[in-house]
Structure 1
Amino acid sequence: MKDWVIDDENLSLERKSLLPGEGFFFPDSLEARQEEQEAKEELEGAERAVVADPDADGLAATALVREAYGETALIDAGPHDLADALERVVAYSEPGATVFICDLCPDAYEPIATELEVLVEEANEVFWFDHHQWDEAVADAVRALGIELVVGESDEECTADVVARSLDYDFPDYLVELAEVTRDHDLWLREDPRSDDLADYSYWAEPEEYMEVIQEHGAELPTEVEEFLAEQRVEKEALIERAVSRAEMKRIGDWTVGVTYGRCSQNEVAEAMREQGADASVVVKPAGSASIRGTDEFERCHEVARQVNGGGHPKAAGCKPSIYDDMLDYAHHWTTQGAVTKQVILEAFWALKHEDDEAAKAADTADDAEAESGAADELDADE
């Protein structure tokens, strides 16, 4: 396949909106070899390492760790490749290293059990800081290994907040503020305009570039970064507009669910659908994943995501349904603008409604039984 076929620079905005980025077309084996080499170079000789989600929250948490502990290697990872990241830390960092895991929540313990247990044996200390919705059994298993796991309230703190209060260190005010501004975006509070800048910059910049800037400037990004963001946002806004124009509203019980498709910034698209009346929003991406966003009227995004190979928070979650067996499935996904993925996720919303209906029916039955029992007791007393 010719390089120009997947080169974003050759695509119109409309086609770019419908297709995944060029990184999607690189085989996992090639990407894994590249990540392995980069991890080796980063970790060799390291006495401290952080495994973190490379979004604004995970990187802010890493900045706080580096402030408190000094030079620390960064290995970025997501929930689905956490086991690989842990294995690389064991393989390439110094024996007896101190390891931090930030802004990552495993869906289950078993997929990471072997790597995590070996890590605990090899490392001096392992700390885990997060703010997602943890399964109690998974948290118990992690703590049973001797790992210091601190999980903040997902609707009150971001991971950077958790790190800031957990480490015995007097952080400078600008880094405390960095955590606060990061929280504003991560919890979708949207009260500080700087939080969107941090989120966008962490997405467009390489992790170490972002780290260098926030470690020096905190949430007050320098002029050259602001200029860079302004340039990038021209295309970003165009992609948002296209995704919003494709949005459909579906009624599921008492909820209005907005559904759309496209390569875009999901939070802004979800906000636009909320303004159009959506209680919850689903943004299906060309790469096959989807973002689910809620409102005060719908705080069960994580319950929807868990049904389709995902997880997250009450008002923000993500998933990637296990429905892609070959490239024909992806081709169908692109040409139908995510029709199957949309249907699978909407069915997860319907499943929640049916659960609520069954619970309400059971409660009514129990109330009726109690009332009948009370009436019978009254009759017996009269007799």
Structure 2
Amino acid sequence: MKDYVIDDDNLSLERKSILPGEGFFVPDSVEEAKEEAEAEDTLTGAEVAIVADPDADGLACTALVREAYGEGALIDAGPHDLEDALERVVEYSEPGATVFVCDLCPDTYDEVGESLEVLVEQAGEVVWYDHHQWTDTVAEAVRDAGVELVVGDSDEECTADVAVRSLNYDFPDYLVELAAVTRDHDLWIRDDERSDDLADFSYWAEPEEYIETVAEHGADLPEDVAEFLAEMRVEKDALIEKAVARADIEEIGPWTVGVTYGRCSQNEVAEALRQQGTDAAVIVKPSGSASIRGTDEFERAHEVARQVNGGGHPKAAGCKPRIYDDMLDYAHHWTTRGATAKQVIIEAFYNLDWDDEGEGGEAKDAETEDGDTEDSEAEAEE
């Protein structure tokens, strides 16, 4: 396949909105080999290692750990490759190292248990900071493995907040403020206009560039970064408009749900749909994943996501339905603008119980075609 076929620079805005980015078309085996080599280079000789989600919250935690310890080799990971990241820390970090895991929550203990137990045996200390909704079973198992686990209230704290209060270090005011502004975006409070800048910069910049910048400047990003963000937002805003225009509105029980498709910033799309009167929003991505966003009227996004191979927070969750077996399935996904993914997620909304006042109980298990139940809880990307 010619490089130009997947080169974003060759795509019109309309096609870019429909198709996934270049990285989607790189085989996992190629990407894994690259990540393995980078992990070896990063972790060799490291006395402090950090496994973190590479969003604004996870990277802020990394900056805080480095401030407190003077070092910290970063291995970025999402919920679906957390076990791989832990195994790489075991393989390449120094015996007796201090290891932090930040802004990540495993679906089940079995997913990480074996590698985590080996890591605890090898490391001097393993500390885990998070703010997602952990089940008691998983949290207890992680602690029983010998991990110092601190989980903040997902309605009140981001993981950077947890790090500030948990690390035995007197942080300068501008880094305490960094955690507060990160929380403003991560919990979708949006009272501080700087929080959108942090979120966008963490998405577009390389992780090390982001960490170095906020470690020096905190939440007040320098002028050259502001100029970079302004340039990047021209296309970002156009892609948001495409997704909002493409949205359908569904009445599901007591809720009004906006459902759309596109490569876009899901939070801004969800906000635009909220202003149109929706209680929840579903944004299906060209990569096959989807973001589910709630409001004060719908705080059950995580219950929907759990039924569709996902999980997250009451007002912000992610998932990737298990409906893609080969490239023909993805081709259908792109040409139909995510029709099958939309359908299974909408069905998950219908599976929620609700009473006459519109207040629901627990979500019902969603049965698969072979009669098994799906209740996986892996949060997809922000």
TM-score by length of 1: 0.93
Structure with the larger helix share: 1
How far off its partner does 1:113 sit? 1.1
Find the aligned partners of 1:69 and 1:90 in 2 and give their Cα distance: 20
Q: Aligned pair in 2 of structure 1 residues 48, 360: CA closer, same or farther (>3 Å)?
A: closer
2:327 is aligned to 327
* % identity of equivalent residues: 77
CA contact (8 A) 2:266 2:283 kept: yes
The count of corresponding residues between Structure 1 and Structure 2 is 360
How far off its partner does 1:168 sit? 1.0
Find the aligned partners of 2:27 and 2:109 in 1 and give their Cα distance: 27
1:91 is aligned to 91
Matched, 1:201 2:238: no
How far off its partner does 1:360 sit? 9.2
1:144 is aligned to 144
How far off its partner does 1:135 sit? 1.1
Structure 1 segment 97-136 matched on structure 2, within 5 A: 97-136=97-136
Larger Rg, first or second structure (1 or 2): 1
Task: Look up the equivalent residue of 1:245 and give its one-letter code.
Answer: A
Structure 1 segment 199-348 matched on structure 2, within 5 A: 199-348=199-348
Large movers: runs of 4+ above 2 Å: 359-362
Q: Aligned pair in 2 of structure 1 residues 325, 356: CA closer, same or farther (>3 Å)?
A: farther
Cα deviations across residues 44-83 of structure 1 (Å, max 9, x unaligned)? 0000000000000000011111111111100000010000
Find the aligned partners of 1:97 and 1:302 in 2 and give their Cα distance: 35
Cα deviations across residues 113-145 of structure 1 (Å, max 9, x unaligned)? 111110001000000000001011000100001
SS at match of 1:281: strand
Structure 1: which 5+ residue stretches go unaligned?
363-383
How far off its partner does 1:97 sit? 0.5
Structure 2: which 5+ residue stretches go unaligned?
362-382
1:372 is aligned to none
How far off its partner does 1:111 sit? 1.3
2:11 is aligned to 11
CA contact (8 A) 2:58 2:159 kept: yes
Find the aligned partners of 2:133 and 2:111 in 1 and give their Cα distance: 18
Find the aligned partners of 1:293 and 1:361 in 2 and give their Cα distance: 17
How far off its partner does 1:361 sit? 12
Find the aligned partners of 1:82 and 1:307 in 2 and give their Cα distance: 21
Cα deviations across residues 257-299 of structure 1 (Å, max 9, x unaligned)? 0000000000000000000011000000000000000000000
2:175 is aligned to 175
CA contact (8 A) 2:352 2:360 kept: no
Cα deviations across residues 158-200 of structure 1 (Å, max 9, x unaligned)? 0000000011110000000000000000000000000000000
CA RMSD of aligned residues (A): 1.4
Task: Look up the equivalent residue of 2:180 and give its one-letter code.
Answer: E
Task: Look up the equivalent residue of 2:215 and give its one-letter code.
Answer: Q
2:379 is aligned to none
Find the aligned partners of 2:65 and 2:77 in 1 and give their Cα distance: 17
Task: Look up the equivalent residue of 1:194 and give its one-letter code.
Answer: R
Task: Look up the equivalent residue of 1:246 and give its one-letter code.
Answer: R
1:164 is aligned to 164
Find the aligned partners of 2:151 and 2:274 in 1 and give their Cα distance: 29
Cα deviations across residues 352-381 of structure 1 (Å, max 9, x unaligned)? 03x658x9999xxxxxxxxxxxxxxxxxxx
How far off its partner does 1:344 sit? 0.5
Find the aligned partners of 1:79 and 1:117 in 2 and give their Cα distance: 18
Q: Aligned pair in 2 of structure 1 residues 356, 118: CA closer, same or farther (>3 Å)?
A: farther
Find the aligned partners of 1:174 and 1:78 in 2 and give their Cα distance: 27
Find the aligned partners of 1:244 and 1:297 in 2 and give their Cα distance: 20
Q: Aligned pair in 2 of structure 1 residues 96, 267: CA closer, same or farther (>3 Å)?
A: same
Task: Look up the equivalent residue of 2:19 and give its one-letter code.
Answer: L
2:364 is aligned to none
